[in-house]
Amino acid sequence: MRFFYFFLIFSIGFTGFSQSKEDSAKAMVQAFFKAFHEQDSVKLKTYAFEDVQLKSIAKNAKGKMVINTDSYEEFVKSMTTIPAEVDFEERLGLLEVQTDGYLANVWVPYEFYLNGELSHCGVNNFQLIYTDKAWKIISIVDTRKKQACQD
């Protein structure tokens, strides 16, 4: 009987300290952006699942909505080619996370600054899959607006 109580208390202790799936999904996206700002291609590659695509939704010069698609590999490669004298920063808003077992959706507004000037803003939407006790990116869709970011 003492073993049972010990096991129960031991289990409750670990449950209280374990990170929820929502928290771990949020932490993974935050780690992604840390690696993004550090231009760390090795870390960025570890966050991806198979065949990740990035899609950006924006208005073209004629005001028509368009979707641009890029591979995650091209994105990672492009990060390594940004010159050191170019200062970029993606400032994140509040991350909202929804999970359902092995699927998570992370929604985060952002403002993107290039050399200290606001370049564009929008929302990043990460779709994640939970595998091998870690979240991996299966898709990223973002919106890009040049006008005021309160729209």
Task: Quick: pLDDT tens for 110-138.
Answer: 999 999 999 999 999 999 999 988 999 99
CATH of the domain at 128: 3.10.450.50
Domain of 35, in residue numbers: 20-143
Q: Is the pLDDT of residue 31 over 70?
A: yes
| Phi-psi domain of 24 (left: phi exceeds 0; alpha: psi -120 through 50; beta: other) | alpha
- Which residue from 27, 15, 19, 41 is spatially nearest to 135, judged by alpha carbons? 27
- Which residue from 95, 80, 82 is spatially nearest to 43, judged by alpha carbons? 80
What global pTM score does this model have?
Answer: 0.83
Rounded alpha-carbon distances, angstroms, from residue 85 to 81, 82, 114: 11, 8, 11
Number of domains in the chain: 1
37 inside domain: yes
Task: Quick: pLDDT tens for 80-95.
Answer: 899 989 999 999 999 9
